[in-house]
Structure 1
Amino acid sequence: MINIQNLAKLLFSLLLLPSFSHAAELDRAYIENFAKNYLTQQIATPDDGEVEISVSTLDPRIVIKPCQSPLVANIPEKRNSRNVNVKISCSDSTPWHIYINAKVKTMLPVLVATTRINKGSILDDSNIKVILKDQSTLRGETIANTAGMIGAKTKRNINKGAAITKRNICLVCKGENVTIIAKSNSFTLKTAGIALSSGSSGDQVSVKNVSSGRTVSAQVMAINKVVVTL
């Protein structure tokens, strides 16, 4: 059992220990992490992508005052670019606030060329792959995966590292043989055709029915396949 004298010494020593309050933690690193954590909670991560947040270092000349109230963060201006100003506020009896800048990158999966691909080449596992790229650098309708792209043909030269888009490839290419699939609620017919124009998935193209000689408008559904809804 601890005697009265030893207990008194223990309590006295505890009183001499430094007091760590919420205010004592408010250094520059704390503020920077607070802003980053706030942005992480506010910005949704895209499917199969990721968000990269980098917070600027606060000017060392800035004096961060104590704050007994919980800090509050918000974005006072609408975020319309990768640059964001986060406002950190303290609502004590003598309130204060600090602005801290952050850069936000939304990274999306994009199909790119792993080597220079010449016009008229066929896409395969040796010349394309999916990587994450900064959304702000993307132009045109990019493609997020390789599904249905193996066997597509390029309509122009594509540099190494450049994104593969619907505009620079064709799943159905002018002058090539295609399968025409005619569909209705009650039946499906297949016949041979020749593409009279080029297109990517979902595009409308003109095709000539080899058997009848008729020209019809059809929708591109896959490599060298089009569908006509009756």
Structure 2
Amino acid sequence: MQIIKVFLSIVYLIAFFSVESLAITWNSAYIESFAKNYLTENILPPVDGKIAFEISSIDPRVVINSCQTPLQANIPENINRRNVNIKISCADSTPWQIYLHAKVERSFAVVVATNNIEKGVVLSKNNIGIEYLAPNKIRGEKLNNLEALLGSKAERRIAKGRTITRRNVCLICKGNVVTIEAQSNNFSIKTKGIALSSGNLHQQIKVKNSQSGRVIKAEISAINRVTINL
């Protein structure tokens, strides 16, 4: 009988220490990295944009207990907010949880002036480029197609670092000589005209036919070219 008791005690101790050996004590650096990985996997960057996360550090006075089960993470609130709280939890026999504050920085690709651009200057890769800006730094319509703006002219002075908008550039500017192309499925006719208003790609502007004197509305299809679909 005594031998059986000793044997059972040994089995109990082995089982106890086996369970204890499965418990892992995580440090603050690991938990912060775990939280950032969770954000990266669950909050995707916006279309034509980037995303960055800033995780707050865990107070060094906080005691992080060991855990026998894999850590879990979730965001109990709207993930589209700029500030979120990540809940890190352990669900073993002695559960615990900790919250980490995080800032979610979203930025969007926009075309900006890389140099001061004076009125009438043609936009080129020497004076415009793509930058990623936070939404609160973007004024007006967001333009992110650099190639579509090349060849446009500044309608007013654009300071270095300012975003390019449809209001401060024109692919065809008022007074420009343009090619008017009237086209259908069977034929195409070209003539010259004068732009009576300014606009950008795919916008409609008023144009005066130089031969007939007739004023028409046509769609901007390229630099100094408008199209009428018959």
For 1:68, what is the secondary structure of its paired residue?
A: coil
Give the match for residue 148 of structure 1: 148
CA contact (8 A) 1:194 1:209 kept: yes
Give the match for residue 90 of structure 1: 90
Gaps of 5+ in 2: 1-19
CA distance in 1, matches of 2:42, 2:220: 39
Cα pair distance change 1:54/1:20, threshold 3 Å: farther
CA distance in 1, matches of 2:66, 2:186: 75
Cα pair distance change 1:123/1:52, threshold 3 Å: same
Give the match for residue 23 of structure 1: 24
Letter in 2 for 1:23: I
CA contact (8 A) 1:148 1:222 kept: no
CA distance in 2, matches of 1:110, 1:20: 54
The CA deviation at 1:56 is 1.3
The CA deviation at 1:141 is 2.2
CA contact (8 A) 1:142 1:166 kept: no
Give the match for residue 217 of structure 1: 217
CA contact (8 A) 2:43 2:79 kept: no
Paired residues in the alignment total: 211
CA contact (8 A) 1:199 1:205 kept: yes
Q: Deviations over 1:126-172 (max 9, x none)?
A: 21122333344323223224213222111222111111122211111
Gaps of 5+ in 1: 1-18
For 2:121, what is the secondary structure of its paired residue?
A: coil
CA distance in 2, matches of 1:89, 1:137: 37
Give the match for residue 120 of structure 2: 120
CA distance in 2, matches of 1:81, 1:161: 27
CA contact (8 A) 2:201 2:220 kept: yes
Give the match for residue 50 of structure 1: 50
Give the match for residue 40 of structure 2: 40
Q: Deviations over 1:68-107 (max 9, x none)?
A: 2222212221133432222222222333222212222233
**Displaced runs of 4 or more, over 6 A:** none
CA distance in 1, matches of 2:48, 2:199: 27
CA contact (8 A) 1:105 1:135 kept: no
Taking only aligned residues, the RMSD between alpha carbons, in angstroms, comes to: 2.2
Q: Which TM-score applies when normalising by structure 1? A: 0.81
CA distance in 1, matches of 2:59, 2:187: 72
For 2:147, what is the secondary structure of its paired residue?
A: coil
Alignment of 1:53-92 (within 5 A): 53-92=53-92
CA distance in 1, matches of 2:63, 2:52: 28
Q: Which moved more, 1:26-35 or 1:148-157?
A: 148-157
Cα pair distance change 1:81/1:221, threshold 3 Å: farther
Q: Which TM-score applies when normalising by structure 2? A: 0.81
> What percentage of aligned pairs have identical amino acids?
51
Letter in 1 for 2:218: A
CA contact (8 A) 1:192 1:209 kept: yes
Letter in 2 for 1:139: R
- Is 1:100 aligned to 2:128, yes or no? no
Give the match for residue 178 of structure 1: 178
CA distance in 1, matches of 2:183, 2:93: 73
Q: Deviations over 1:17-45 (max 9, x none)?
A: xx975622x22111110111011111224
CA contact (8 A) 1:123 1:153 kept: yes
Q: Which moved more, 1:92-101 or 1:41-50?
A: 41-50
Give the match for residue 192 of structure 1: 192
